[in-house]
With several copies, the nearest count.
Chain A
Amino acid sequence: MQLHEYQAKDIFKKFEIVVPEGRVAVSSVECKEYFELLAKKCVIKAQIHAGGRGKAGGIKLVTSPQEAEDAGSQMLGSNLNTFQSAGGEFPINKIYIEEALNVTNELYLAITMDFEMKCPVVILSTEGGMNIEEVAEKFPKKIIKLFVDPLIGLSPYKVRKLCSMLNMGKKLDEQLSSTIFKAYSIFDSLDCSLVEINPLAVVEKESIVALDAKITIEDDSMFRHKDLAKLFDESQMNETELNALKNDLSYIKLFEGQIGCMVNGAGLAMATMDITMKAGMAPANFLDVGGSASEDKIKEAYRIICSDKDVRLILVNLFGGILRCDVAAKGIVDGHKETRKKTPMIVVLRGTNSDEAKTILQNSDLDITFARDLPDAANKIQQKLGN
């Protein structure tokens, strides 16, 4: 679960990481009022769940109440499409306005999980403010990593080494070190998959301040952090994604595709997308109904696919394991009863109770072509759409 900058900064404050003075505004009038309370120079930032806000116009420096109000009214209510938002658009419902500081230089700090080392990793770079993937590619040596032992925790000697490589002097070293320890505390105690500060600024050569704040709580750990669930901002997802999420479906809309896919298992889902592509057609989505899907869940999955106007053909590929095919078939029929959309379907059903499932589907009035297996499905897609 991703948090907004302002929510992450609230957490930062609790853990005593230094952040600029700032306020959340939901109207342009508030932007103006808060500007007057805060500083002579402020930054107006769109609160959306996508990186790359700056380049997309979601961050503006303002130097007067009027500018603040203008920037606020321009942003609020509009949608932002950044280079990191993968085609989607994010509505700006909240603004974070904060004092602009005199930045000497910008660092990058992140804590995430390193799956190869099988432990948390602290990543520090002198190239803050930039897209870190770009830095990693162009200047790999400018990225320093520190691995955290699961038993010992974050070792001070490793942090000392990390800080000393920056050679910023004792005072800044101490602040940086303390910031790293606090950020790690957040990462550890909230089961995060990411805590990122980019940029982590050196302000007036004497203090370290987190100008941005990104916290992502690991979805699988949310059961341990029920109090954080209220921070979830539904507005940052489109209705379809939100529906999928609420039904515990793993769904990703893919633009420019025409084949709606409903598959169980991520691997099989990806395989299904791959053969669709090989058959010359683009998949319209990734949709994994998961291991143990109920009738309702399948129904919702069917509705989600049908609601996508790009979809010309639906490919269902289910392999009953924990999932029972007959349950799935009932879900599809239910979904069809509600949507009444007769999009042609190619259906591959195998494994647990697949025969019962076929009977159920044959007795419905859906436009179904059965395929024996994946190769057969690939042929039938071409037959359907190829001509």
Chain B
Amino acid sequence: MSILNNDSNKVLIQGLGRDGSFQTEKCIQFGTQVVSGVHPTRAGKTFGEGVPIFGSVEEAVKATSPDIGLIFVPAPFALDAIVEQIDSDIRTVVCITEGIPVSDMIKVNQYLKDKKTRLIGPNCPGYIIPEKNVKVGIIPNDIVSSGEVGVVSRSGTLTYEAIVQLTKLGIGQSACVGIGGDPIHGTTFVDVLEMFEKDKNTRAIVMIGEIGGTNEQIAANKIKDEISKPVVACIVGQTAPQGKRMGHAGAIVTGKSALASEKIEALKNAGVTIADSPTEIGLKVHNLLK
């Protein structure tokens, strides 16, 4: 078993535009079992090597029983797609879409409360489990390797950076999860840390945070109290000027707690090994596992 391992790991794709189709191909190449696509006007057709397309999630679920939903639909339609997947009781929903209005995500967050679905993202690269050949998202196929380090990150491309450093040092990953850069997102650092703690395949955890918000501090508290496995953390945005938006809506420095220094302090206090520079993530893990 690894984290985020569902009954079947069958994946439904919603949103089959240029990017969605391209990335789905990559998922299939990695070995992911993509069982169906959903597209309102391409129902009845197939994509890739014969994956059937349905007009609605309900129909796709009835015909192909996916456990996982992967969303690429454009931002204006993302709320509806997420709700549609939740309403079909899909266990794990990964939303790659960026630019979803905050007010929409507030609704989603509230709607999820009494539902069975776990949401990952939005504005995230999804997750990958090298050992199981399961990839639900857009993490590049060729950088990962199977092993015992769990990676969790708010940033997409920076996750890849960390994975590359690990793989180059011969350190494989049990799973890598991008939880997304938006201020309101489904699965949090704490959720993933909990999963890694329970997961027998994971020996150590890499956590990549950013300036803005207080999620890293909440994670630090969790680590202090409940995570026994060693954690290496890196917080980026140390050189970002205050009050400026750095791309991710979540990465705004507002108030002291949002500062990189505050986050690093909290994590240090929780016994976390800090990679001062993003270039040192791999090395720090390497030293830790020696």
Binding site for B on A (CB under 8 A): 84, 86, 113, 115-116, 118-120, 133, 136, 149-152, 155-157, 160-161, 164, 170, 188, 191, 193, 218, 220-221, 223-224, 250, 252, 254, 263-271, 273-278, 282-283, 286, 288, 290-292, 319-322, 350-352, 373-375, 378
Q: Does B230 contact A (CB under 8 A)?
A: no
Q: Looking across the interface, which residue of chain A has its beta carbon closest to that of B210?
A: A267
A221 to B280, CA, bound (A): 38
Residue pairs across A and B with CB atoms within 8 Å: the count is 204
Could you tell me if A269 and B101 are in contact, using CB atoms closer than 8 angstroms? no
A139 to chain B, nearest CB (A): 15
A223 to B100, CA, bound (A): 10
A124 to B18, CA, bound (A): 35
Listed by A's residue number, 21 A-B pairs whose Cβ atoms lie within 8 Å are: A115-B183, A118-B110, A120-B106, A150-B106, A155-B83, A193-B102, A220-B101, A220-B249, A223-B76, A250-B246, A267-B159, A268-B161, A270-B247, A274-B237, A274-B239, A286-B240, A286-B244, A291-B156, A321-B156, A374-B161, A378-B279
Known: A223-B76, A267-B158. A191 touches B101 (CB 8 A): yes
Give a binary string over B208-242; 1 marks a CB under 8 Å from any A CB, 0 the rest.
Answer: 10110110000000000000000000101111110
Give a binary string over B155-170; 1 marks a CB under 8 Å from any A CB, 0 the rest.
Answer: 1111111001100100
Which of A188, A275, A321 contacts B125 (CB under 8 A)?
A321
Q: Looking across the interface, which residue of chain A has its beta carbon closest to that of B154?
A: A267
Q: Looking across the interface, which residue of chain A has its beta carbon closest to that of B218?
A: A116
Chain B residues with Cβ below 8 Å from A220 are 75, 99-102, 249
Chain A residues with Cβ below 8 Å from B19 are 291-292, 322
Which of A161, A252, A271 contacts B56 (CB under 8 A)?
A161
Chain A residues with Cβ below 8 Å from B246 are 250, 252, 266, 269-270, 286, 288
Interface size bucket, B side? 35 or more
A375 to chain B, nearest CB (A): 4
Q: Does B138 contact A (CB under 8 A)?
A: yes
| In the complex, chain B residues 274-290 whose Cβ is within 8 Å of any chain A Cβ | 276-280
Chain A residues with Cβ below 8 Å from B210 are 266-267, 270
Q: Does B23 contact A (CB under 8 A)?
A: yes
Q: Does B109 contact A (CB under 8 A)?
A: yes
Chain B CB within 10 Å, residue with most, of A118, A188, A223, A270: A270
Could you tell me if B140 and A352 are in contact, using CB atoms closer than 8 angstroms? yes
Would you list the 7 A-B pairs with minimal beta carbon distance, nearest first? A267-B155, A266-B247, A265-B157, A267-B158, A268-B157, A271-B278, A115-B183
Could you tell me if B243 and A267 are in contact, using CB atoms closer than 8 angstroms? no
New A-B pairs, 7, CB < 8 Å, besides A136-B255, A151-B110, A270-B247 = A267-B210, A268-B158, A271-B236, A271-B278, A274-B238, A374-B278, A374-B279
Chain B residues with Cβ below 8 Å from A292 are 18-19
Could you tell me if B248 and A156 are in contact, using CB atoms closer than 8 angstroms? no
Q: Does B103 contact A (CB under 8 A)?
A: yes
Which of A120, A277, A322, A375 contacts B138 (CB under 8 A)?
A322
A148 to B57, CA, bound (A): 18
Give a binary string over B84-107; 1 marks a CB under 8 Å from any A CB, 0 the rest.
Answer: 100100000000101111110011
A281 to B234, CA, bound (A): 20
A285 to B159, CA, bound (A): 22
B139 to chain A, nearest CB (A): 7
Which of B75, B84, B157 contacts A319 (CB under 8 A)?
B157
A275 to B139, CA, bound (A): 23
A83 to chain B, nearest CB (A): 11
Q: Does B28 contact A (CB under 8 A)?
A: no
B225 to chain A, nearest CB (A): 19
